Chains A and B, each alone.
Chain A
Amino acid sequence: SQTIHQWPATLVQPVGSPLSLECTVEGTSNPNLYWYRQAAGRGLQLLFYSVGIGQISSEVPQNLSASRPQDRQFILSSKKLLLSDSGFYLCAWRGGGETQYFGPGTRLLVL
């Protein structure tokens, strides 16, 4: 069966510091991978998606970037965090069907 991991689970970072969040998927090959952000009390906003290694599409212009160095690894990064980057970051995968499945998420607080 497929599983999706995200780490860290919680992160507190100062403004201006760098960020690296990691997502890995097990039990599937060539998944579509997605990064979402959820601000407090809000819906999910799609940030990036990837249909294959090295292929990244951005949905929202921001100071974040994403990379997919391996088939089942998706990384979200920032060189300098802003206060507005605080939120719940969710990674999701989609295989051959229509449904996206979410990882446990990383809660980021920028102070």
Chain B
Amino acid sequence: QKEVEQNSGPLSVPEGAIASLNCTYSDRVSQSFFWYRQYSGKSPELIMSIYSNGDKEDGRFTAQLNKASQYVSLLIRDSQPSDSATYLCAVTHKGSARQLTFGSGTQLTVLP
């Protein structure tokens, strides 16, 4: 069974600090990896996608992928109160429809 696991949190960091969110997945043939942000009562919005080993940076966000360890992470630098949300890790499996499997999410609170 394909599974995606995240540290459930909640995670609290002070404003300006680095927030580190972690995710592991069970299916070795997983191909694409995504981080979505979901504000309370809203739908998920894409933050980052990553497809190959290493780091990918976009502004204050850095995604890190290690396929050998089946591990993907998201770092948020200079955290802001507006970053307070639930962060969902998602993994695409091989298949024509590219179905996503989601983790249960990590709730992040950035304290002013």
Contact = CB atoms under 8 A, between A and B. Distances in A.
Interface in B21-45: 32, 34, 36, 41-45
A98 B97 contact: no
A111 to B, nearest CB: 20
A101 B32 contact: no
Interface of B: 4, 32, 34, 36, 41-46, 49, 51, 88, 90, 92, 96-105
Contact of B101 (A32, A46, A90, A101): A46
Interface size class of A (residues with CB under 8 A): 20 to 34
Contacts, number: 55
A43 B46 contact: no
A50 B97 CA distance: 8
A57 B102 CA distance: 18
A50 B98 CA distance: 11
Nearest to A32: B97
A102 B45 CA distance: 7
Contact of B100 (A46, A50, A57, A107): A46
Given A44-B88, A90-B43, A103-B43, A98 B102 contact: no
Interface of A: 32, 34, 42-46, 49-51, 57, 59, 90, 94, 98-105, 107
Contacts of A57: 97
B44 A102 contact: yes
A105 B97 contact: no
A45 B55 CA distance: 28
B102 A43 contact: yes
Nearest to A104: B43
A46 B101 CA distance: 8
Contact of A99 (B34, B42, B104, B105): B34
Please provide the 6 A-B residue pairs with the shortest distance between their CB atoms, ordered closest to farther: A43-B104, A43-B102, A102-B43, A44-B102, A98-B32, A105-B43
